[in-house]
Structures are given as C-alpha cells and as structure tokens.
Amino acid sequence: MCGIVGVVGNSKAIEIVTTGLSRLEYRGYDSAGVAALDEAGDLHTCKEVGKLAALLEKIPAFTKRVGATSTAIGHTRWATHGEPSVTNAHPHVGTMGPFTLAVVHNGIIENHTALRTKLSASGAKFVSATDTETLPFALAHALQQGAASPLAAVQQLLPTLHGNFALVAMAQGVPDELWGTRRGAPLCVGLGQGAANYLVSDPLALAGICERFMFLEDNDVVHVTPHTIEIFAAGERVVRPVQTLDLSADASGKQGFKHFMLKEIHEQPAVVARILSAHTHATTRLPALEFSPTIAASLASATAINIVACGTAYYAGMVGKYYLEQLARIPVNVDVASEFRYRNPPLVAGGVFIAISQSGETADTLAALEHAKAHGQTILVFTNSPHSSMARAADCTIPLLANREIAVASTKAFTAMVLNLLLFALQLGLQRNLLTAAAVQEVIQQLRELPTQLQEQLEHTVPIQSLANNLATMPGRSLLYLGRGLLAPMASEGAIKIKEISYLHAESYPSGEMKHGPIALVEPGLPVINLAASNDGLLEKTLSNLQEVAARRGEVILIADSAATSQLPANLQAIVITVPTVHPLLLPFSFSIPLQLLAYFTATAKGTDVDQPRNLAKSVTVE
C-alpha cells in the first residue's frame, strides 16, 4: 500500500527519498510526492499523479529550487479518501499562525471529519479531500496552542487519533529533525552510518543505505535528528532493539526476467528446497518446526484451530485445513479475516489461532489476530515478514522463507504457505500418534523431489502460453475454475490470480457445487478450467462434471496428470494441460505452476501491468 521515506542529515536527501520510493513502488500507489527544506528552512513540495516516473521528471527542477538540503520526506499514495490527484497526493502541508508542517501518512485517520471541523473552526484552510491533511494542521494548531515542540505536538495528537496509521512530519524552519508515530501500520528507524538517520515504512526503501533498523511499537513517538534517535511510549523514553537486516536478496531486481512475478514463479523450486532444508531434519527426515514448550503444550492439547487470512493467504489456509484435518485429525475453521474480526465468534479458552500473511501487515488479519489474542488464544503466525506487526504480536512465528515477494500477485509466498502448513500438519499428526514416522518420511521424500519436478514444469510452458493467448483474445470475458478436495482451493487460487492481473472475470467453485447454480452460466464457448488428479479418489466425479460442461458446449479445459487425462472419454473435446503425477498431498504444488503461468501469460498477452495491477496493493494496511 502507501510508502513513507524520511531522511535527516544526508546531503542527498531528495535522491534517497526518491530511490526509496521507487523500491516501494511494488506496494501499489497512484500518486507520489516529496517535501524538502531549503537552506533557509523553507518548505517546498513536489507531487505528481500516476507512476513515480512522472514525479521523477519533475525532481531535477525541484532539486534546483530547493538547493542544498539534508531534510526530506516522500510518499507513494494509494487513494482512500479523495481521488488520485496532485492536490490529494502527500506530503500535505498545514499552516496555523507561524507554524507550518508537512506530513506523510499511511493508513486511515478514522475521525478525520471531526478533526477537520474542529480545525476549520480554528482557521485551518483545507485544500484536499484527504484524511491526512488534518494531521499537519492539527500539529500546527497544537504548537499554536502552546505545545513546547513538534515532538510534544505529536505526543498530544496521538491519543486523539482513531484508526491505524503511520505518519512522519517535518516542520518549516526546523532543519534536520523529523517526528513520527505509528499504530497498526509499520514504521521503522533506519540507523545511518555517520550523521544521518531515516524513517521508513519498509526497510527495503533503504537497501544499500542502512543495515540496522529499529521497529517502532504501536503508539511509539519518535524524534529523529542526524545524531539522535529518541523514542517515547506513553511519554517515557524507551529503547527498541536494533535489528540487522540483509536486504541484498530483497533488492536484487528482476534478474533478467521480464516481470517480478515471472521471476518469483521461477524461484519456487529454490523456495521449496530452502524450506525443506530449514524446517525438516537432515537425518531423521521428519518435520522440524521449532516450538517453545508452552506452544508445544498448546498444540498438543488443541481440540480445534481457527485459521484466518485474506485473499491468496486464505486459499492457502483452506489447503491447510485439509492437511490438518486429514493428517492431525484436528477440526479447523478457516475464515476471511474481515468477517472473523467483526463476527465475534465464540473462541474456546486455550484454543489455537493461526494467522497466515505474506506481509504480516494486512489490517484485517492483524485485527482478527488481536481479537483472538484478547480472547486467550495461542497465536501462531505463518508470515514471510519476520519483523512485521503480526510477527511481533504472535506467540510463535513460522517464517515462510520465501524471501521478499515484490509482484502484487502472490506466487512463491503461496507455495511457501502451503508447504509450511503441510510440514506443520505432518508434525502434529506425528506427535498425536496418528501418523507413523515412515509415512511422514515418505511424504518428505516426495517433497524433496519437488524442486526438480517444479523446475521441469517451468521449462515446458508452450501449451499454457497458447491457451493464454486464446483466453486473452476470447470474445467473452468470463471463466469458470472447478476442482474438488485439495484442488477446490486451488481452483479459487487460479481464479483470483487471473482476475488480479489479466482483469478477466473468473469464478471458482468446488466442482460438486456446479449443479447448484453456476451451471446456469455455461453456454457455448464459456471456458471452464477443470483441475483433476488420478490419485485423490475424486477423478470419476470430476469427469462427470466435465461431461456436464461439454453437454452444454462449454469449452472444456482440463489441467490434470497424464493418468487422469487418459481417462477422458474419446468423444469429449478438451484442451489439456498436463501436470506431473505427484503424491496426493502434493497436488497444490504441481497445480500452482500452470495456474500461475496461465494468469501470467494471459496478462502479458493482454498487455496489462503484471507486477502492479490496477487498484491493488501489495500490503493492504487499511480496511
């Protein structure tokens, strides 16, 4: 979602801010802007709508106008309040009496209307439609009313704000000082070498500049100068631990691939190998996820598990439900986080709650997690971001180990979620004496062969490309995805992927649901993508569903292993994409590749912006 970069004490402040913003582009945004103080301490802003390239065109003239500066803040905005426009882009500036401040902000100030009314009555002249603009006016107003410093003004303002947010402020006439605060949205301090420090919403913005970071806690207020970092919680000075991060892999670029998404699809064999090496035992060949004695005890006694997630992570959760129920015989409820958080579901004391999130920052999932925590659940988080808000709130974090995912459409993180959930379910099944060590070792052995199998799939993509070319130019704009068992959530994952990046409308259903409604959609030429395996005990049923589509002259597309495709009735015309035959528990992996590539090639054939599809953001930090 939005991105924040702030710099003090570096003579290349504007350049660092714009480079940082370009590293955060992947998060999704629709306008961008920079503010800087000139040598006299005067505040200047430069903003543009659309891609960062549009802002960058204006930056040479802006830099000339500002002259030497070492204090700058910048922002990429994903519109929530007010359309994408130059006026609504951040930084926002507010003047009250002699005080002028500029603010960049992620998240939402939910009580902005009340603040706006109050500040307007005190003379604030608003120009934008944003919630953010209330912030610089509120800070300037607090100073006008006698707050001793901008730090005191931020401390006064914080308890009056509702919602989840992170903000960074600078003040006219006060060079080399920044102030920030956060609640529910990330903000961290980058510790510069020498006389410079930074405030960013994501350390990636500072790849190559900083290695050491302090992650702020909810309701921390920070004051940063080139030589000092002061953090306050409830008015008291606090110290947050310094974490050293290696961002080189995260910032390694597309490495010759046309898009980050394609690169990340191709990284999956390596991701699988990395997870197996870290989360299985080299000699016993058993899962080796590490749990503290308390967590292990909670897992041993758990009678039910709640899994909560959004989007693709939710579909991974559906696969996880299947694994946990089949392998560990634990009843699992999977919820979309935005529903769970407001439904107030009954939660048994001592229950286990699992949040799954690539970013670890998704607002709905985080809120659901906080709800579960408040109701005495043991919180496990499967996340790709070990320093995220969810990881910090969890009792135990299972790192996904997918390395940074840049493309908005999730691919390798999904695979990493599913693999870690499978290892988790195998470990629980073993601990509960439901599985023998030999049975688990057999699955792990099959998993070890997966990187080679996935690699082979990635090297044979011609049939998928030709299907994608057909889909991209088909007269209709709708698709159906069907699957059963483990392939039902995979059908949903295939549908969300193609929707996100190719903008084709795609519905997914468990195949058995077809005749309860969706079959009414089938008309001549409607592409129906069926997922089928020869060894999950469900093939016969799936083949009947194919016949039902064919009878209505829908376009039958079958993604299946060769043993399944060989059972197709001779008179049934179908476009076939073959996947390797794998252990039935491994179906999500072998089906992921064609589903991801189909979405990717359809999008490239349509010429859409694959890595940053319209309206979407990588990390959804607002409701």
Nearer to ligand F6R, 211 or 364 (CB): 364
Alpha carbon of 272 to those of 165, 167, 357, 388, 454: distances in Å? 35, 37, 18, 22, 9
Least spacing, CB of residue 560 vs ligand F6R, in Å: 24
Which of these is catalytic: 2, 46, 210, 310?
Answer: 2
47 among known catalytic residues: no
From the CB of 191, what's the least distance to ligand F6R, in Å?
26
Class of residue 256 by CB neighbours under 10 A (exposed 0-12, middle 13-18, buried 19+): exposed
Check the CA dihedral 273-277-280-284 and report its sign. positive
* Least CB distance to ligand F6R at residue 366 (A): 9
Helix axes 487-502 and 311-328, enclosed angle (nearest 10): 170
Looking at beta carbons, which residue is closest to ligand F6R? 311
Tokens of 421: 């959930």
DSSP states of 425-477 as a string?
A: HHHHHHHTTSS-HHHHHHHHHHHHHHHHHHHHHHH--HHHHHHHHHHHH-SS-
Give the Cα-Cα-Cα angle 74, 80, 85 (nearest 5 degrees). 60
Question: DSSP class of residue 66?
Answer: H
CB-based contacts of 61, cutoff 8 Å, min separation 6: none
Q: How does DSSP assign 584-606, residue by residue? A: GGGHHHHHHHHHHHHHHHHHHHH
Q: Report the residue number, 311 or 489, with the smaller CB distance to ligand F6R.
A: 311
- Yes or no: say if 541 and 512 are a contact pair by the CB < 8 Å rule: yes
Q: How far is the CB of 358 from ligand F6R (least distance, A)?
A: 3
Name the active-site residue from 321, 412, 499, 618: 618
Contact 265, 411 (CB under 8 A): yes
Shortest separation between residue 291's beta carbon and ligand F6R, angstroms:
22
CB nearer to ligand F6R: give 179 or 424: 424
- As given in the structure block, the two tokens for residue 213 are 């970071």
Q: Nearest approach, Cβ of 390 to ligand F6R (angstroms)?
A: 8
Grouping H, G, I as helix, E, B as strand and the rest as coil, residue 305 is strand
In the complex with ligand F6R, the residue whose CB is nearer, 71 or 383, is 383
Beta-strand pair 3-8/197-200? antiparallel
Q: Which residue has the tokens 């060894």?
A: 535
Which residue number, 366 or 444, has a Cβ lying nearer to ligand F6R? Answer: 366
Please tell me the number of Cα atoms within 13 Å of 538 on its side-chain side: 21
To the nearest whole angstrom, how small is the minimum distance from the Cβ of residue 364 to ligand F6R?
8
Least distance between ligand F6R and beta carbon 500 (Å)? 5
Of 414 and 509, the one with the shorter C-beta distance to ligand F6R is 414
- Under a CB-based contact definition with an 8 Å cutoff, are residues 92 and 134 in contact? no
Q: In this complex, which beta carbon is closest to ligand F6R, that of residue 362 or of residue 415?
A: 362
Closest approach of ligand F6R to the CB of residue 215, in Å: 17
Indicate if 310 belongs to the active site.
no
Pair type for strands 99-107 and 92-96: antiparallel
Q: Tokens for 193, please give them.
A: 């070498």
- Given a contact cutoff of 8 angstroms between Cβ atoms, the answer to whether 192 and 224 are in contact is no
- Strand boundaries in 299-384, DSSP class E: 305-309, 332-336, 352-357, 378-383
**CB nearer to ligand F6R: pick between 280 and 357:** 357
Residue nearer to ligand F6R on the CB measure, 409 or 468 = 409
Q: What is the binding site for ligand F6R (CB under 6 A)?
A: 310-313, 357-359, 362, 365, 408-410, 496, 500, 619-620
> Catalytic residues, which ones?
2, 618
